[in-house]
Structures are given as structure tokens and as C-alpha cells.
Amino acid sequence: MDLKLGALLSVTLAALMISGPLLVNAQASVELVNLIGDPVTTTCVADNANRPSVTIAPMGTEFWEFNGDMLSLGWTCHFEWSDSSDCAAGPTCKLHTQDVKVWQGVMGHRKLVGAIALTPCASCIWQIKFDGFYRADKKDMAYSFVVGWN
């Protein structure tokens, strides 16, 4: 880190400590849309809250609103899906799983090296598909592929 950047960072941190805690809250939401022909089960956790496990029916949705702390690490959901199209060959279906960060504050989307993993959205909409998870912000509805199933 160069000297000027280090000095600026020190001054900024000192100003934040003097002024007290920085709380930046805004209404936020997450919507999960199951576009798979099978039920999808999910359990979601946040910094300070947990949601009960739910099963989203085919073509169904799960929606929740919360006071989104922009400094939060956000909501992460664990998804499970038993692929019924894979059951014909035997008694058990192939189980797909994935952990997905479905909402995060501004600070939660940065890695320690400063790389941006995912641009935050205030109202995130997730499409759950056979090949993985697609995310859009309600304000622009432009879906982008984020991650596939394990």
C-alpha cells in the first residue's frame, strides 16, 4: 500500500470511530423463484437472523423483506433439489446442492484483496433453474448466471 493511500485510510477510519457507528439501512428483499419441475428445499441464514427451512414448489416462490444493513455480510441460502428425471434408473434420485449468497451489503461483497465478487442489489430476484442460479435486481430485471449446482 502506498503512503498516501495508507494515510487516507487512517484518517477515514479515525473519522468513523469519532463519529460513532455507521448504520446505513434500507428496505431490502429477496425473492426465490423455482423454475425446476421438482420441489427445491432451502434454508437461509444472515448475520443476525435465520429463516426456517422451506420447500418451494415447482413454479413457486419464496419472498421476504428485511431492513438491509448495507455493511452486512448478507443472506446465504443452502439449496437442495432431488432431480426426479434422474430417478427412472433406480430407487434414488440424484441430489443437487448449492450454497448461494442471495443478498449482501456493500461491504459484504468485497474480498480482503478488494475484488468484487457480486454487485449488491436492494431487491434481489433469483431464478432457480436446472443449470443453476440466475440473479437480477428488481429495478432492471436483467438476469445474470451466478453459479451452477454441485
Domain boundaries defined on the chain: 65-149
Tens of pLDDT along 83-122?
888 776 666 788 999 999 998 876 544 443 344 355 678 8
- Give the strand pairing for 25-34 and 61-69: antiparallel
Residues of the chain with pLDDT > 90, as a percent, come to: 43
Q: How high is the pLDDT of residue 90?
A: 62
Give tens-digit pLDDT for 116-140: 355 678 889 999 999 999 999 988 8
Backbone phi and psi for residue 58, each to the nearest 5 degrees, phi listed first: -55, 130
- Of 11-25, 51-65, 100-114, 129-143, which range is least confident? 11-25
